[in-house]
């Protein structure tokens, strides 16, 4: 028993000695003599936005739990088992921590994670355009794209082409539609789209040829129209400076040009005046093109001669022998002599014939051929061979041919050759029977035609006497009655070169004309309304402000008409920047005359193009009257019937219409 107790005490003492149990001091602190480390496989990772990815650490011999955290949970989050979820584009740090245990210390590791956008992908159709015949059912599919998203299809116009979501298209009616393919986005790739234009045409049929005509041809431009053709989806227009017999060789012709997919009416500008242009049109449906239309020949010309004015008028009174910068109101105020062909030295230098200012005339013999000598002076006893006798004059600018009066005979001013208006065509009939100057298309001119040869730089007579000898400063009949006055018809008085209303029973001379002239028609089709308060005359090439100054609105009903003296009116035009243009001017008397609608009155103007609800009738022109006395007058136009009237420059206040040369 005693031995047993001694053994027990010995064992207990050994145990206490091993644990320090025999030391009466404080216990020692544990310091884990075993360290551990953990790490990610990479220092940097990428996760596509909207996706999740497991990013876990490895290593560490201890048994402590591993937890994860994100430095910016707005960019990405991470679960305690290392599943990273990408929320928005950016960078964040994921930190892993392994807890300590009884043997191993704690450990941590971190990695940079970038949240990246989804990858782009591309899909495409095999061809950029596709053509179907009505009734066709065709698979039109796109291919490509690395993603797994499905491709679906839609049509921009289901009435023309309907298409199933898997790309089976049905052609319903003639026309064009755009098919859009969309490949859906997936986890890695963004959505992708592709488009293709599909034309639907009629079944192979023979298309009829269109009929083309010219709505108007004028100053460096033409307006061409054509009839519609059944089953045609578009039209082509061919142009050349020589006859077009076949479109297969159009490109080899002088100036051969093709205009595809054009619509009627087709307006073309930038043409050369006096140059002949040939046009043909074809109807098109898919790959089918009709035979060519009838051929149209147009010769653009400026239908307006300038006034011939080389003199200037003072603001209040006076006429200067030359064009001077006489009116100064905050700078030079331009007037008639500063503008137009008469002020262009290039025009003067390049005339075909001769004549004062910019007038360009050629003298013709009795058979219509040009005289070899053009600078001779008229003599009743002269001859064509020496250039002193001629029968007609061609205006090289307008293209019109004019009768020249003689001292005696059927083309003279003898009393028996004067007629009343009812018999105005008698001289033309006789001249056609005569084949005068080789021409059988003589007629009585319109107001605008006859006024083209008026020279407003002079009076008594107001024409170019060097080319029109034996003329009288009298009234000449025109072909037009006066609207609103059935008893009167229009004449041109060549004392001053202006229009007058005269009783039809009176007897006057007729100066005959031949040739096509396009400025007689003032119908709406002659104008292009631009939608900015301006209208372009497709014959003269002039752009007009539609409302008189002071008025505005679509119908020119807002505001009050501005009335000013002559100089102030030209200044107002000079200073205007209406519709963004800075080259407005006051029209001269011939430009104004070109828009008179002689079949109308009060106002005598096309009110569809130039609204005039307040019946504003009187407008200043930029043309001073060049009489030696009185010397204080300028011309205005009165749209009651379209008369030019002389008025005191400061004693009369009138409205303004603005004009500029169209681009």
Strands of 55-211, DSSP E: 57-59, 66-70, 76-78, 83-86, 90-98, 107-116, 123-124, 129-133, 137-139, 143-144, 151-155, 161-163, 168-171, 175-183, 192-201
Segment 292-299 shows an average pLDDT of: 96
Given a cut of 50, whether residue 22 has pLDDT beyond it is no
- The contacts of residue 592 (CB under 8 Å, 6+ apart) are 619, 621, 637, 644, 657
Residues 138 and 96 both lie in one domain = no
CA 419 to chain centre: 49
User: 112 with 178, same domain?
Assistant: no
- At residue 596, the pLDDT reads 98
Q: Is residue 21 part of a domain?
A: no
The pLDDT of residue 16 is above 60: no
pLDDT digits (tens, 9 = 90+) for 408-466: 999 998 888 999 999 999 999 999 999 999 999 999 999 999 999 999 999 999 999 99
Secondary structure of residue 431 in the 3-state scheme: helix
* Model pLDDT, residue 655: 98
Are the CB atoms for 271 and 244 separated by under 8 Å? Answer: no
**Which pLDDT does position 307 carry in this prediction?**
97
Considering the domain architecture, whether residues 584 and 638 belong to the same structural domain is answered as: yes
Q: What is the pTM of this model?
A: 0.71
- Within this chain, do residues 475 and 599 fall inside the same structural domain, yes or no? no
333 lies in a domain?
A: no
56 with 87, same domain: the answer is yes
In a domain, 19, yes or no: no
Write down the mean pLDDT value for the chain.
92
For 322, which DSSP code?
Answer: S
Q: Which domain holds residue 79?
A: 38-116
CA dist list (Å): 175 to 199, 206, 249, 427, 465: 6, 18, 29, 57, 62
Single residue among 72, 89, 116 that ends a domain in this structure: 116
Q: What is the pLDDT of residues 495-547, one digit of tens each?
A: 999 999 999 999 999 999 999 998 999 999 999 999 999 999 999 999 999 99
Condensed to tens digits (0 to 9), the pLDDT of residues 234-289 reads 999 999 999 999 999 999 999 999 999 999 999 999 999 999 999 999 999 877 89
CB 92 within 8 A of CB 76: yes
**Nearest residue to 494 (alpha-carbon basis) of 478, 506, 505:** 478
High-pLDDT (> 90) share of the chain, %: 87
pLDDT band of residue 25 (cuts 50, 70, 90) is: very low
Please count the residues of the chain.
Answer: 663
Separation CA 176–CA 456 (nearest Å): 57
pLDDT confidence band for 18 (50 / 70 / 90): very low
What is the band of 124 on the pLDDT scale with cuts at 50, 70, 90?
very high
Those residues with Cβ within 8 angstroms of residue 640's Cβ, 6 or more apart along the chain or in another chain:
601, 602, 603, 604, 617
Q: What is the CATH number of the domain that holds 42?
A: 2.60.40.1080
Number of folded domains in the chain? 5
User: Taking a C-beta distance cutoff of 8 angstroms, is the pair 595, 610 a contact?
Assistant: yes
Strands (E) located in 390-452: 392-395, 401-403
C-alpha to C-alpha distance for 30 and 27, rounded to whole angstroms: 10
Q: Is residue 304 part of a domain?
A: no
**Whole-number pLDDT of residue 23:** 41
Given 50, 82, 116, the domain boundary residue is: 116
Q: What is the pLDDT of residue 371?
A: 98
Asked if residue 14 belongs to a domain, the reply is no
Residues 174 and 73 in one domain: no
Region of poorest pLDDT, from 3-7, 259-263, 565-569: 3-7
Indicate whether 653 and 544 sit together in one domain. Answer: yes
Confidence band (pLDDT; 50, 70, 90) for 203? confident
Which residues, at least 6 apart from 566, have a Cβ–Cβ distance to it below 8 Å?
A: 313, 315, 620, 624, 634, 647, 649, 650, 652, 654
pLDDT of residue 580: 98
Residues 575 and 494 placed together within one structural domain of the fold? no
In a domain, 335, yes or no: no
**pLDDT above 50 for 7:** no
Q: How confident is the model at residue 33 (pLDDT cuts 50, 70, 90)?
A: low
Angle in degrees, CA 64, 65, 66, rounded to 5: 120
Q: Report the pLDDT value the prediction gives residue 28, as an integer from 0 to 100.
A: 42
**Strand 234-240 versus strand 90-98 pairing type:** unpaired
Kindly state whether residue 352 falls inside one of the protein's structural domains: no
CATH no. for residue 290?
2.60.40.10
| pLDDT recorded at residue 628 | 86
Tell me if 319 is assigned to some domain: no
656, 544: one domain = yes
What is the structure's pLDDT at 79?
Answer: 96
* Same-domain pairing of 368 and 482: yes
- Angle at CA of residue 344, ends 338 and 348, nearest 5°: 130
Helix (H, G, I), strand (E, B) or coil at 474: coil
Where residue 627 falls among pLDDT bands split at 50, 70, 90? Answer: confident
Task: Tell whether 216 and 184 lie within a shared domain.
Answer: no
Q: N- to C-terminal Cα distance for the chain? A: 136
DSSP code at position 119: B
- Mean pLDDT over 358-383 rounds to 97
- Alpha-carbon span 547 to 23, nearest angstrom: 119
In this structure, what CATH number is given to the domain that contains residue 490? 3.10.100
Last residue of a domain, one of 470, 488, 514: 514
Residues 151 and 233 occupy one common structural domain: no
């Amino acid at each position: 028993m005693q031995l047993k107790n001694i053994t027990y005490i010995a064992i207990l003492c050994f145990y206490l000695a091993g644990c320090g149990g025999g030391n009466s001091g404080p216990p020692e602190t544990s310091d884990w003599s075993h360290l551990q480390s953990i790490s990610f496989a990479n220092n940097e990772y990428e996760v596509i936005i909207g996706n999740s990815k497991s990013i876990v650490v490895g290593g560490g011999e201890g048994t402590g739990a591993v937890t994860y955290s994100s430095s910016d949970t707005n960019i990405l989050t991470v679960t305690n088992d290392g599943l990273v979820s990408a929320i928005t584009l950016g960078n964040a740090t994921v930190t892993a921590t392994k807890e300590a245990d009884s043997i191993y210390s704690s450990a941590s590791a971190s990695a940079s994670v970038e949240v990246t956008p989804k990858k782009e992908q591309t899909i495409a159709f095999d061809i950029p355009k596709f053509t179907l015949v009505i009734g066709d059912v065709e698979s039109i599919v796109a291919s490509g794209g690395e993603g797994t998203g499905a491709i679906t299809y839609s049509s921009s116009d289901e009435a023309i082409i309907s298409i199933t979501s898997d790309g089976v298209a049905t052609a319903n009616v003639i026309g064009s539609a755009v098919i859009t393919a969309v490949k859906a986005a997936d986890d890695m790739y963004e959505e992708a789209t592709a488009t293709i234009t599909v034309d639907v045409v009629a079944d192979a049929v023979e298309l009829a040829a269109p009929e083309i005509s010219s709505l108007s041809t004028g100053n460096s431009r033409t307006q061409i129209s054509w009839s519609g053709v059944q089953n045609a989806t578009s039209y082509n227009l061919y142009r050349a400076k020589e006859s077009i017999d076949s479109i297969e060789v159009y490109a080899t012709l002088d100036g051969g040009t093709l205009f595809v997919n054009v619509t009627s009416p087709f307006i073309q500008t930038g043409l050369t005046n006096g140059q002949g242009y040939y046009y043909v049109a074809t109807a098109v449906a898919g790959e089918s093109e009709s035979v060519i239309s009838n051929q149209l020949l147009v010769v653009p010309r400026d239908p307006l001669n300038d006034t011939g004015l080389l003199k200037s008028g003072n603001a209040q009174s006076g006429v200067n022998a030359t064009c001077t910068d006489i009116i100064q109101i905050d700078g030079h105020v331009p007037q008639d002599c500063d503008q137009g062909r008469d002020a262009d030295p290039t025009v003067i230098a390049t005339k075909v014939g001769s004549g004062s200012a910019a007038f360009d005339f050629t003298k013709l013999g009795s058979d219509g051929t040009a005289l070899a000598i053009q600078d001779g002076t008229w003599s009743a006893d002269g001859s064509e061979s020496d250039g002193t006798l001629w029968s007609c004059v061609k205006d090289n600018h307008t293209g019109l041919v004019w009768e020249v009066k003689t001292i005696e005979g059927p083309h003279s001013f003898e009393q028996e050759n004067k007629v009343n208006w009812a018999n105005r065509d008698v001289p033309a009939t006789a001249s056609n029977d005569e084949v005068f100057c080789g021409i059988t298309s003589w007629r009585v001119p319109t107001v605008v035609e006859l006024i083209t040869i008026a020279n407003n730089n002079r009076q008594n007579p107001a024409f170019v006497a060097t080319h029109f000898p034996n003329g009288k400063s009298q009234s000449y009949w025109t072909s037009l009655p006066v609207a609103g006055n059935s008893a009167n018809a229009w004449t041109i008085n060549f004392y001053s070169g202006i229009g007058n209303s005269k009783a039809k029973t009176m007897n006057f001379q007729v100066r005959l004309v031949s040739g096509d002239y396009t400025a007689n028609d003032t119908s709406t089709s002659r104008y292009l309304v631009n939608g900015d308060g301006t209208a372009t005359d497709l014959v003269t090439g002039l752009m007009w402000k539609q409302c008189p100054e002071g008025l505005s609105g679509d119908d020119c009903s807002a505001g009050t008409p501005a009335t000013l003296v002559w100089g102030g009116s030209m200044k107002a035009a000079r200073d205007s920047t209406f519709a963004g243009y800075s080259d407005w001017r006051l029209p001269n008397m011939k430009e104004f005359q070109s828009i008179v609608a002689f079949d109308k009155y009060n106002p005598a103007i096309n009110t569809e193009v130039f609204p005039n609800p307040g019946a504003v009738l009187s407008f200043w022109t930029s043309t001073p009257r060049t009489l030696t006395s009185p010397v204080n007058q300028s011309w205005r136009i009165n749209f009651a019937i379209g008369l030019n009237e002389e008025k005191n420059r400061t004693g009369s206040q009138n409205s303004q219409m603005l004009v500029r040369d169209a681009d």
